[in-house]
Structure 1
């Protein structure tokens, strides 16, 4: 008896669903076309097909991690620095600038290395390594600005 009642209830709900059949509106049709077009275009970019968007130099975005959103750079541009706050990056920028400037000034003016080499000595390598932090401070400054624009 239970099986017969369940079968009858199932057939009556199916008949009720057919009575109020879904009717597609023009908005639904446009939405389906948009989703289908986007899906097929992404599918065609798969590993078996060549597409200009797959070239690393032209559009290096990874899915779900856009480089530019609303005309501003996102933290994904920074790579490993994306988890740093703008305050931390500002500190690193000033630190690298100070150390790099120190190494540069020491090498050229306060402890002139070219005069030492002319006298038969050797360069002080620490000044060279310190001066290499000067351009890195500029990129830290840019990273700080990007994080500041993103509210971090």
Structure 2
């Protein structure tokens, strides 16, 4: 039985995450997923919108996933591979070459990212919307203040 292992933050779960898990699962009979903990994300300089417990529950609910565990640091992949007897480590192509040293204990596969979707892009869109809303509110407040000043109410 071929065991596949992958990792991710899986914040703002989207179709790219689903496709990665489906493609990883297709490489074997069992798929285990390390979901980055909130503390580990903080060390990486990432700020997750969804807390770890909820992200892990979402990933665990995917039918292709056989087990989920927290990813706490960069170095645990080797011990996870050994503990789970993983045959294949799957990572996104944005990590190409970063885990090649693990080819000595399992096969490392880098899968292409789903085009036109990423959590980073989704977060940027939210930030843009928030900035636009702030500018709009500032303009409304300025207009209200000007009206109050014109009418000697302020």
**Is the pair's TM-score, using the shorter chain for normalization, greater than 0.5?**
no
Q: Normalising by structure 1, what TM-score?
A: 0.24
| Bigger CA radius of gyration | 1
Bigger fraction of residues in helix: 1
Bigger fraction of residues in strand: 2
